[in-house]
Amino acid sequence: MTTLNKVTLIGYLGRGPEMRATAAGDPVTQLVIATTETWKDKNTGEKKESTEWHRVILYRKLAEIAGQYLKKGSLVYIEGRLQTRKWTGKDDVERYTVEIIADDMRMLGGKPSHGDAEGDARKPDEAGSTKTTHSHRSDRVEFDLEDDMIPF
């Protein structure tokens, strides 16, 4: 029987990307992504909410793109696999961390910033432009841009 280790997330970055490099000099970026589930309590009728935080690791070109374009509050789609990493803390106690090693990332848009009176700058406007989506899979980069969004 074949097994499958696959994770798909859509969530918001809880903080800005943390960029580093491997010993060989390859870029590595760590993201912390929040996903929230909401439901209505059957007994009280009250709206309930639960947020999970996920540690996501990106390598090479994908790491560079994430470090350059993502920021706290960015909405992203992540596809990857789970990996458990064992490490020893300063107190010499062995610990385990579960991470998602991403092989695909798509920037879906962003959360409106508090200082932006219009909300998300990627919303459709009177001219009919639509949101920008960036995607990356392996070493291929795809951009879907409306003509009025290209600066030249």
pLDDT at 118: 35
| Longest distance between any two alpha carbons in the chain, whole Å | 60
Of 106 and 145, the one with more pLDDT = 106
Q: Write out pLDDT tens, residues 113-123.
A: 544 433 333 33
Residue 132 has pLDDT above 50, yes or no: no
Distance CA 56, CA 122 (A): 25
Residue 143 has pLDDT above 70, yes or no: no
Of 70 and 144, the one with more pLDDT = 70
Q: Write out pLDDT tens, residues 57-107.
A: 999 999 999 999 999 999 999 999 999 999 898 999 999 999 999 999 999
Q: Write out pLDDT tens, residues 21-45.
A: 999 999 999 999 999 999 999 999 9
What confidence category does residue 131 fall into, taking pLDDT thresholds of 50, 70 and 90? very low
Q: How many CB atoms lie within 10 A of CB 107?
A: 20
Supply 49's token pair: 């909410």
Handedness of CA 37, 39, 44, 45 (dihedral sign): positive
